[in-house]
Every structure is written in structure tokens, then in C-alpha cells.
Structure 1
Amino acid sequence: MAAARAGLGRIHPESSILFLCDMQEKLQDKDVYFPQIVSMAARILIKVARLLGVPAVLTEQYPQGLGPTVPELGAQGLRPVSKTCFSMVPSLYIDTALSSSSSLSCSELNRMVALARMQQSGIFLSTSKVLILQLVKHTAHPQFKEIQKIIKEPAPDFGLLGFSPGETNPLVLNSRP
């Protein structure tokens, strides 16, 4: 049983997909962290996915009304999939628990609830750097030097925790008497 659990949460380039969800013109004013999210996706995740041959799926929520994907994303060459449902992919392809976890993340509260629901559904949360290093696996990887250049800059703060580093987490109750 322990041996079976050892691989739990591991990712591999040959069985991975990068999902880029609804990074569109009219949605950029709805999320205070939109520029950081686009920067992270464009600066790191798309570049690494291309280097490792990881396929990427780009969606646009009702592009007639919300506009196209922002050019800053750098998703040239990816053909966006237009959608009107509030999930990235039809539940036909993924577990129902996963599809129901993808709630809107325009606010910190929605983002935190979505992350908690994903975790409850069995999703392993990670940082982009840990995820990338897990995909590369070893410094001997033929793309490691190029990827190392891409990930060496610190990631911007996305506000996912609801507080800044160094602050007390307002979501954790003080259990001291």
C-alpha cells in the first residue's frame, strides 16, 4: 500500500495538459491579480509546456461578449476553444467532482473556496516551480538549463492565501487561550 501511495500526486509530461482558462480582455478588470496570473502563465508555464512538449488547451468564455484572449498571454499558435459553460472541459472527460470544483475565481474568497473544493476532490495543489521541477525530474534533463533560466525569477504574489507573506493569516483562528 505504501508503494502505491509513493507515486500519488506525481505528474509526468506525457500524461499532463496545461489548461489556460478564460484570460480575456473583458475579464481582466474583474480580478485584481489578473496581470500577475497572465504574467506567470506567459512567462513560465506556456514556455515550459512548449519546451517539454506538454499540450496546452486555451478556453475563452463567450468570446463574442468577453473578447479574445489578452495578447500578453503569449498564446500564439494555440487555437482557443469557445465555451459558454462554466467548466473548462465537459464533465464527460473528467470526474464530476473535478468539474464542479472549477468555480469562478474573480475574488479571493471564490479562489480560496475553489482551491479547497479541488483539494477535497483529490486534487494535489502545488506551486508552478514544484510542478515544473517534477515534470523535468532531474538536472540531466535535456531542457533543464533552458527551464532553469525561466523559473529562476521569484513568482509574483497572487493573493491566493488572503494575506501577504509575513502577515498573520486572518482565516486561521487563534487557538491560544
Structure 2
Amino acid sequence: MPAVAKLAPQETVFFLCDVQTRFKNAIFGFDELVLTINKMLKIAKVLEIPVVVTEQNPKGLGNTTPNIDLPSLGPLLIANIEKGLFSMMTPEVKALLHERPQIKSVVLFGIESHVCVLQSALDLIEAGYNVHVIADGVSSCNKEEVPFALARIRQSGGYITTSESAAFQLQRALFIANYGEACSDSSVPGDAGVSGFKLFSNIIKEEKDNTVRTSQKLLQYRAVL
């Protein structure tokens, strides 16, 4: 794995792990978690990043909460998979990744941090993927579990980031792909020359209050050990 693993839209897939209806009253900061996830899905649409969703035992735990806007993804939602394993690396997901050899990075968010998210991250890292976990996009029933799970992922070679940081990394990579590294500083001010940057910028502005809310709720206890 490289010392620096930068995110690029054409090499990235988003993984949404098990944010289901029965967890609403159990997970710390569930409403804020949903806000972050919907922001990430908006980013996926603008940057054309595919999304994989899993649901743990949906007969018992319900489907993905309807407050998460999966229908808006259209064909970018490449899989919505029922699973019994804790890890998202089911045979179906492994097959999807095998069919997409261009994918090098997985941006991971969902629940629970110390169970399904952690096991998914470790399996993905072991399989050779660069795993970027969204710190304001994961949670657990007990908030005290979260920093230990994030630390375990980082110790294993994963990357801990935030929704806004990951979004800007992806947007910058798109800029460089269109204009080249030489144009990334002064020749095209502010990366604003990228096609679609206005849509991206609008999302960041629209989500400003939600970003503050989710950061205050979900990042307060999440200094990575």
C-alpha cells in the first residue's frame, strides 16, 4: 500500500454499511449520521462515484432507513445487498469489485463502527484496497466504542478522514484529471474551472449547517488514538 493514498473519483467506490430502520433509537447520533450519509450521496452524484449498500439481516432489522436518499442515485447504486456476515465483503461484493479492477479506494461509512465497519475495513485492507473511513459518517450504540474502532483501522493501514475533507480530495483529483497538475495552483484559481465544480460548491454551501451539526455531535469524542 502506498504511503499516500489519494482519492480519485474514477478509482473510488462508496460503501454504505447497514444504516437500517431498527437502529434509529439505538445508535448514537443516528440523525446526524444520516445527514452525513446524504451529503456523501450528493457528492457521489456530482462526481459520478458508484455506491454499494448492505443491509444486515433486513427481515429482523429493517431496510436502509428511508431518510437516506438511495433512489436519487439511479444507476450509481450498483448494489444493495442483504448480508448475514458482519463484514461487507460478502461474495457478491467481492464479485462486484473483481469486475471493476479500476477501483483502488473504498470510502466507508455506516454502522456499527466497532463491528461491521471495522470488519469491513480490515477485510478491504487485507484485499489490497485503500480504505478511507468517514469519521463523521460512522457510529455505534455506545459512542465510547468509536475512537477505538477508528484507531484499530488506522493501525491496520486505513485512513481516517471527514466527509468534507474526502469530498474536496475527490474534487481536486477530478480537477487534476481534467487540467493536469501544472494547472492546479495559480493558473486556474481555486480549482473553480472544473466542469461541475459549481454543483459541488453548492452542495458544500447547502450542507454547511449540517456539517457543523454533525461535526459537533459525531466528532467530539473521536480523536484518533
Q: Larger strand proportion, structure 1 or 2?
A: 2
CA distance in structure 1 between the aligned counterparts of 2:8 and 2:45, rounded to whole angstroms:
14
CA distance in structure 2 between the aligned counterparts of 1:89 and 1:158, rounded to whole angstroms: 29
- The residue type paired with residue 145 of structure 2 is N
TM-score normalised to the size of structure 2?
0.62
Amino acid aligned to 1:111:
V
Task: Quote the offset at 1:11 in angstroms.
Answer: 0.7
> Which of 42, 56, 68 is matched with 2:51 structurally?
56
Amino acid at match of 1:117: R
SS of corresponding position for 1:140: coil
Deviation per CA, 1:137-175, whole angstroms, max 9, x where unpaired? Answer: 132221111111111214123334428xxxxx8x99xxx
Q: 1:100 to 1:124 in 2, by over 3 A?
A: closer
2:81 is aligned to 81
Once the two structures are superposed, residues 22-71 of structure 1 have per-residue CA deviations (whole angstroms, 9 ceiling, x without a partner) of 111101111121110111111x1001101111100111000000011111
For residues 123 and 34 of structure 1, do their structure 2 counterparts lie closer, same or farther at Cα, with a shift above 3 Å needed?
same
User: How far apart in 2 are the matches of 1:162 and 1:115?
Assistant: 11
- Residues 11-26 of structure 1 aligned to structure 2 (within 5 Å): 11-26=7-22
RMSD in angstroms over aligned alpha carbons? Answer: 3.1
* Higher Cα radius of gyration: 1
Per the alignment, residue 197 of structure 2 pairs with 144
Corresponding position of 1:32: 28
Counterpart-to-counterpart distance in 2, 1:85 and 1:115:
20
Secondary structure of the residue that 1:85 maps to in structure 2? Answer: coil
Flag the 1:98–1:113 CA change in 2: closer, same or farther, 3 A.
same
Q: Name the aligned partner's letter for residue 33 of structure 1.
A: G
Structure 2, unmatched stretches of 5+, are 98-118, 126-132, 134-138, 173-190
Counterpart position of 1:158: 217
Compare the two structures and name the one with the higher helix fraction: 2
In the superposition, the TM-score normalised over structure 1's length comes to 0.78
Cα distance in 2 between the residues matched to 1:52 and 1:27? 29
Among 59, 67, 72, the alignment partner of 1:72 is 67
Tell me: CA distance 1:54–1:67, structure 2 relative to 1, closer, same or farther (3 Å).
Answer: same
Q: Which has the higher contact order (CA 8 A, sep 6+)?
A: 2
1:71 is matched by which residue type in structure 2? P
CA separation in 1, counterparts of 2:147 and 2:7?
23
Rounded to whole Å, the distance in 2 between the matches of 1:25 and 1:71 is 8
The share of aligned pairs that are identical, in percent, is 31
User: Counterpart of 1:135 in 2: which secondary structure?
Assistant: helix
Structure 1: runs of 5+ lacking an equivalent: 164-168, 173-177
